[in-house]
């Protein structure tokens, strides 16, 4: 059975690569790749090692959102995001601490680097910067070295109390992932300005970032199964609603033999990303926040078991589905009472009160802004 699954995955990969290759040839002929875009994601790391990721794409020409945007405009922009035209085999120069590093994009246009720090680094709330220049591309017309972007690497200060890992869909904003019709409506008909976070999320996340003293800068990681295509939408959502700046760990939905895309489960992606974060900061404890709609609960429990005494709390937002709540209770039925505290909440305020009670955040009247 496993051989058949592997065969199907390999066949799907070959078909996808064949389609992409034909698509690139047609688009090159029609000169549709005259505008090339380098997308740089926020990186993270420590004073020893940092992680940088980005992508080379055809420019999408997505308009900035307004509260007056029609459903058609929102749907058109979302379609542009999801229908990505990646540029593989592009040569990119990433300059970190003045040292150039050359990397080639993969079949989906991604480039990724793990680099050692050669000197002292800027820690939060300031951030270390890096530069990315496109040196060569099999498609498109541009002057070498002119197409340049600057990215940030977010590094926690030594004074950090703990780190925070949060899901996005149905944890920060309502997506209704368990209801396909509602999910499509929420995803395609609204924009970053009109999709509003749940009540209390901003103040709670700000308090978590500020920590026990009320003026700290604990690191925030937004780990989600949303595709990297939505990166600009999600960063804009976080920024315009004044949530803490953080690192995004999203998902590649291409099919490949590394189970990186649609063949991999939501839970597997989340576990892999959180494990990488935990290993980057071996002396830091964490708070994990998710929802009951997908696989956050079993994923977070497994992480807590992998890293004893390092997960302070697991907060799960109840999506108000009786079957999902029953599942969550089953996941944690023999887990309560240990080092990691678990709270299934209806409202964000419940988690805030729990965090105050445990001394992880200060009461709102005393918290700095």
- Residue 263 is given by DSSP the state T
> What are the pLDDT digits (tens) for 7-33?
334 544 444 454 454 444 444 433 444
Answer with the residue of higher pLDDT: 123 or 259. Answer: 123
Other CB atoms within a 10 A radius of the CB of residue 147 amount to 19
Q: Is the pLDDT of residue 196 over 90?
A: no
What are the backbone angles phi and psi of residue 357, rounded to the nearest 5°? Answer: -60, -35
How far apart are the C-alpha atoms of 205 and 188, rounded to whole Å?
A: 26
What are the tokens at 280? 């980057």
Residue 92 Cα distances to 160, 281, 319, angstroms: 34, 28, 43
How far apart are the C-alpha atoms of 222 and 164, rounded to whole Å?
A: 8
Strand 220-227 versus strand 247-251 pairing type: parallel
The verdict on pTM exceeding 0.95 is no
Share of the chain above pLDDT 70, in %: 77
Q: Cβ distance 156 to 244 under 8 Å?
A: no
- Residue 74 is given by DSSP the state H
What are the backbone angles phi and psi of residue 6, rounded to the nearest 5°? Answer: -65, -40
The confidence score (pLDDT) of residue 182 equals 62
Q: What is the mean pLDDT of residues 258-268?
A: 54
The confidence score (pLDDT) of residue 160 equals 97
Among 42-56, 72-86, 346-360, the least confident range: 72-86
User: Closest Cα partner for 226 from 187, 280, 178, 276?
Assistant: 187
> What are the pLDDT digits (tens) for 287-335?
999 999 889 999 999 999 999 999 999 999 998 888 999 999 999 998 8
Residue 93 zone, left/alpha/beta (φ > 0; ψ -120 to 50; rest): beta
How far apart are the C-alpha atoms of 4 and 331, rounded to whole Å?
A: 31
> What are the pLDDT digits (tens) for 328-362?
999 999 887 789 999 999 999 999 999 999 999 99
Among 27-36, 46-55, 120-129, 305-314, the least confident range: 27-36
User: Closest Cα partner for 284 from 46, 97, 60?
Assistant: 46
Angle at 92 between CA 88 and CA 94, to 5 degrees: 140
Strand 49-58 versus strand 36-40 pairing type: antiparallel
How far apart are the C-alpha atoms of 15 and 21, rounded to whole Å?
A: 10
How far apart are the C-alpha atoms of 37 and 21, rounded to whole Å?
A: 19
- Tell me the Cα Rg of the chain: 21
Residue 97 Cα distances to 36, 64, 101, 119, 318, angstroms: 26, 32, 11, 7, 44
Other CB atoms within a 10 A radius of the CB of residue 111 amount to 22
β-bridge partners, 290: 316
Residue 207 Cα distances to 202, 312, 351, angstroms: 9, 16, 11
How far apart are the C-alpha atoms of 158 and 189, rounded to whole Å?
A: 42
């Amino acid at each position: 059975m496993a051989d058949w699954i592997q065969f199907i995955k390999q066949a799907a990969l070959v078909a996808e690569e064949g389609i992409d290759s034909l698509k690139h040839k047609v688009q090159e002929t029609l000169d549709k790749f005259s505008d090339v875009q380098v997308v740089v994601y926020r990186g993270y790391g420590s004073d020893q090692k940092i992680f940088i990721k980005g992508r080379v794409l055809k420019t999408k020409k997505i308009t900035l959102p307004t509260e007056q945007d029609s459903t058609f405009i929102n749907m058109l922009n979302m379609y542009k995001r999801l229908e990505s035209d990646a540029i593989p085999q592009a040569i990119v120069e990433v300059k970190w601490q003045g040292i150039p590093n050359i990397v080639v994009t993969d079949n989906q246009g991604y480039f990724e680097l793990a680099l050692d720090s050669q000197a002292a680094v800027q820690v939060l709330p300031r951030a270390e910067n890096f530069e990315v220049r496109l040196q060569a591309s099999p498609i498109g017309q541009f002057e070498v070295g002119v197409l340049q972007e600057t990215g940030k690497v977010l590094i926690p200060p030594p004074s950090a109390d703990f780190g925070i890992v949060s899901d996005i869909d149905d944890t920060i904003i309502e997506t209704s992932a368990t209801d396909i019709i509602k999910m499509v409506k929420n995803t395609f008909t609204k924009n970053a300005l009109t999709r509003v976070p749940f009540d209390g999320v901003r103040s709670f996340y700000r308090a978590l970032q500020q920590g026990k003293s009320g003026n700290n800068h604990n690191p925030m990681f937004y780990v989600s199964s949303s595709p990297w295509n939505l990166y600009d939408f999600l960063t804009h959502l976080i920024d315009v609603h004044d949530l803490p700046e953080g690192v995004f760990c999203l998902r590649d939905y291409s099919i490949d033999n590394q189970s990186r895309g649609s063949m991999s489960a939501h839970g597997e992606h989340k576990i892999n990303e959180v494990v990488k974060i935990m290993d980057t900061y071996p002396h830091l404890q964490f708070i994990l926040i998710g929802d009951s709609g997908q696989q956050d609960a079993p994923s977070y429990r497994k992480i807590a078991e992998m890293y004893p005494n390092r997960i302070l709390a697991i907060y799960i937002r109840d999506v108000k589905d009786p079957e999902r709540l029953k599942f969550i209770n089953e996941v944690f039925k023999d887990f309560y009472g240990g080092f990691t505290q678990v709270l299934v909440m209806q409202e964000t305020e419940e988690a805030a009160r729990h965090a105050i009670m445990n001394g992880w955040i200060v009461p709102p009247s005393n918290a700095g802004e």
